[in-house]
Amino acid sequence: MREDHWSTLVSAAHGERIPNTPIALIVDTPWIPSFLGISTVDYIAIPDVWFKANLAVAKRFPDVILLPGFWVEPGMASEPSGFGCRIEFSADQPPSVHPIASDISAIDNLVSPNPRRDGLMPLVLAAYKYALPRVRDEGMDIRMVTARGPLAIAAHLLGLTGFLMGLKTEPAATHRLLKATTQCARDWIAAQAEVLPRVDGIMVLDDVVGFLSKEDYLEFAHPYLKEIFSVPATVKALHNDTDSPVCFEFVSDLGANVFNFTHMRDIRSVRARVGDSVCLMGNVAPRDVLAMGDPATVEAHARRCLAENAGHPAFLLSAGGGAVAGTTAENIDAMVRAARS
């Protein structure tokens, strides 16, 4: 990430007025390899391929804040692999994560992994060490790190259905599991920050909170997410693009100051529930518009987002989720035009 991009992101996260609306996109394994026509396995496994791909995207879109920026990201596999999940690789899509059990009783009292030793996490750390001087040689730095949220990790370990069933039938075991996955997320953030000394931002991705009722969210999600967001950082982003408002009114209390949310909720209604202290990041439809629409359609939807935001300074024009395969350069350019005009 360029220093001016980081400064802009910090300003937006803290609601400081910026002359032009910033554009930000979450870019990772589902989009970058397909956009550049390279194998997903090569992108994940070969450091030079990964570095050149991220550099190419950064140079092609100089007006877009790419989040988190130079992300070493083997799909959603980093944390689950540390617990022993089998990871299946494919040349044309992100890795698949296979659960280690379907019944929560089979993994009760699970121990959190060591990110410096277990699964794919040590390989990610080594890749960051390799990449950092090269990123800096290009006049950029790695300022943000990421972690899957505690419920997302737990759902990978049990499968989504197995986790949700366990939450309702074995609440005590669910809490024990979530304590382990929360510890994993915190340890993973800390391990990444150790090898990336200028990190001052975190992004936590957890869509599973959108499958809970308000009561279950407050018991099984909020305290664990809040523990992760207690990590000191200037920018604290939460990604949850499920079509559920269950967490909206609690985002500020989590300690998050950037919220990437679904395109299926209009910005005015989200702002009303989230409040003014959180920077909203959205919300052009990532698949049906940004990937499948033409540039004119993308620009029209982006203008609608700007109108709904009504000039609020805590705002990043983005997709209502991450960039997906099929998103073209011309459509991203259309978002930039909408913001600049």
First to last CA, the chain: 24
Question: From CA 198, how far away is CA 141, in angstroms rounded?
Answer: 8
Which domain range does residue 40 map to?
A: 3-325+334-340
pLDDT of 341 reads: 84
How many structural domains is the chain composed of?
1
Residues 263, 319: contact at Cβ < 8 Å? yes
pLDDT per residue as tens digits for the range 44-85: 999 999 999 999 999 999 999 999 999 999 999 999 999 999
Angle subtended at Cα 116 by Cα 115 and Cα 117, rounded to the nearest 5 degrees: 90
Half-sphere exposure of 213 (CA within 13 A, CB side): 4
pLDDT per residue as tens digits for the range 179-215: 999 999 999 999 999 999 999 999 999 999 999 999 9
pLDDT of 109 reads: 86
Question: From CA 285, how far away is CA 288, in angstroms rounded?
Answer: 6
Least Cα distance to 233 among 190, 276, 179, 180 occurs for 190
CATH of the domain at 74: 3.20.20.210
pLDDT per residue as tens digits for the range 279-305: 999 999 999 999 999 999 999 999 999
Question: From CA 334, how far away is CA 322, in angstroms rounded?
Answer: 17
Mean pLDDT, the chain, integer = 97
